[in-house]
Chains A and B, each alone.
Chain A
């Protein structure tokens, strides 16, 4: 009884806290000068329907390159620390998966991959983008490993995708120096019609590479962690 009333008190406390936040919230409707600049001139200069994407890929494109590099370093360090000897496979005793989960995962994994790709291809039109799409692709890989723990995942394919997309990202940036106004410049391709899938210059292409790279890096981390859970 004491426990029940305690639970109720905690619940009511939560409600009071959240209600206070809710009542006290009045959204800041005026933009400051910087935000105003992006909001007004962003669509014309960049041609992206999603302003956040315009800031992330064009105005702050170098930062994105840095973030991808940090993620790459993290993946490289994880795979360095958790190095598996060649030929050593899993020697844990696992409970087998139920047949239903196995079948369901086989149907769902390609669907999740497709959805991840949808998220980063439409990064300049709708919420999401390279990082989110990459994370969704990696979660599809998690489902695959959950259903079939003993399956081998191709490290070579992951590394290949990762390197190619990283190099292409930098090459597009360099092409911006050669053929347009500067490194990672957006006007390398024409801006296209606002709001369609082929618009916003090179943003979709950069986001495809960012998404593939992030997905490959996270998948690499997950497979490395998975293969190193040997029973001591």
Chain B
């Protein structure tokens, strides 16, 4: 029984590493920053998630820290890529020529004076 679990875990680890590789390939092939963020974030999140989940099946005694690490990645990874995309759009990193629409009005998000932040 334990043996089967180990093999399933190893296959999951392999699958995760393939996703990581595809994400890296997307990072190289995509034409502009925003598409690169898309390819990179999704693939690295699922890839790392699957790898750690496979390890969890192989070594069940380590469940505590592995579960913590998986939750941590699921929360922080999308947040950091959102913050990065927001900053990049603000400093006008160009979108690719294939882009069909850009509805985010740049004039709306100008500097806000600190007083406004204080009165949250």
Contact = CB atoms under 8 A, between A and B. Distances in A.
Interface of A: 89-98, 100-101, 104, 107-108, 148-150
B114 A98 contact: no
A93 B86 contact: no
Contacts of B90: 95
B114 A95 contact: no
B113 interface: yes
B117 A94 contact: yes
Given A94-B111, A95-B111, A150 B117 contact: yes
9 contacts: A93-B112, A93-B114, A94-B114, A95-B90, A97-B117, A101-B83, A104-B75, A104-B76, A104-B79
Contact of B75 (A108, A148, A149): A108
A96 to B, nearest CB: 5
B116 interface: yes
Nearest to B90: A95
Nearest to B119: A150
A91 B109 CA distance: 19
Contact of B112 (A95, A100, A148): A95
B82 A100 contact: yes
A107 B75 contact: yes
Contacts of B98: none
Contacts of B118: 150
A92 B117 CA distance: 12
Given A150-B117, A150-B118, A94 B112 contact: yes
B86 A98 contact: yes
Given A104-B76, A108-B75, A150 B82 contact: no
Given A104-B79, A148-B120, 7 more contacts: A94-B117, A95-B109, A95-B112, A100-B79, A148-B117, A149-B117, A150-B118
Contacts of A95: 90, 109, 111-112
A224 B109 CA distance: 29
Contacts of A148: 117, 120
Interface in B55-107: 75-76, 79, 82-83, 86, 90
A149 B86 CA distance: 17
B83 A98 contact: yes
B11 to A, nearest CB: 28
